[in-house]
Amino acid sequence: MQKREELYRGKAKTVYYTDDNDKLILEFRNDTSAFDGEKIEQLDRKGEVNNKFNHFIMTKLEVAGIATQVEALLSDNDSLVKKLDMIPVECVVRNVAAGSLVRRLGVTEGELLDPPVFEFFLKNDALHDPMVNDYHIVSFGWATEAQISDMKRLTFAVNNVLKALFDEAGMLLVDYKLEFGIDGNGALVLGDEFTPDGCRLWDKETRKKMDKDRFRQGLGSVVETYIEVAGRLGLKL
């Protein structure tokens, strides 16, 4: 499958058309950004690590019966994916209090959340991804009530699979974001990515941060830690 013209260029990934109208190529770049693109650096091998990590996780989810966009690894940095009409909201699940939840509500970082907290955010960097609710989503036509229900159901299904996966590897899945899209048959499908860029992972014993907070907070060893996470899961990079 060959890359054609560029469809979309994000902060860390580029999407290309292919000669198949139903397939795209997703390229993971070494660009690393935080704070809505205000902090940007190039980190060697990051694109390769995230591409292979994403394929590994999406394969685990497919085995668990959750439809994903990913079709195949094409190269170190490229994956073949289904073409989706993406819904412009992020689905966020929080199993442990961290990040913006702590800042907004004044709760203690590290507090276990039972049941987990679910939140929607509008994907809009210029507006700093504001929180929205079901009423906003339906009123502005971003998704239907049925699609909202399915996004919630699938997001918690992902949580059940991945919490157990990371727990067995000695890590806490603190929080994460997912994005969904509609395929050519009208079905809701998990899209975009699941990598340490889009979730928070802590070592269960030490609470060592093993995700993009290492970049945001200047902790260093970003890619090296991503590789450690992969290795704990059984993915050798």
DSSP-assigned states of every residue in the chain: ----SEEEE-SSEEEEE-SSTTEEEEEEPSEEEETTTTEEEE-TTHHHHHHHHHHHHHHHHHHTT--BSEEEE-SSSEEEEE--EE-SEEEEEEEE--THHHHHH-PPTT-EEEEEEEEEEE--GGGT--EE-HHHHHHTTSS-HHHHHHHHHHHHHHHHHHHHHHHHTTEEEEEEEEEEEE-TTS-EEEES--STTSEEEEETTT--B-STHHHHTT---HHHHHHHHHHHHT---
Domain 6-82, CATH number (from 3.30.70.20, 3.50.50.60, 3.30.200.20, 3.40.50.2020): 3.30.200.20
pLDDT, mean of residues 132-159: 98
State the pLDDT at residue 105. Answer: 96
Give residue 179's pLDDT: 98
Checking if the pLDDT of 24 tops 70, the result is yes
Residue 37 has pLDDT above 80, yes or no: no
Domain ranges of the chain: 6-82, 85-221
Query: Among 30-34, 66-70, 152-156, 206-210, whose mean pLDDT is lowest?
Result: 30-34
**Looking at residues 66-78, what average pLDDT do you find?**
98
Q: Which numeric CATH code is attached to 85-221?
A: 3.30.470.20
Predicted structure pTM score: 0.95
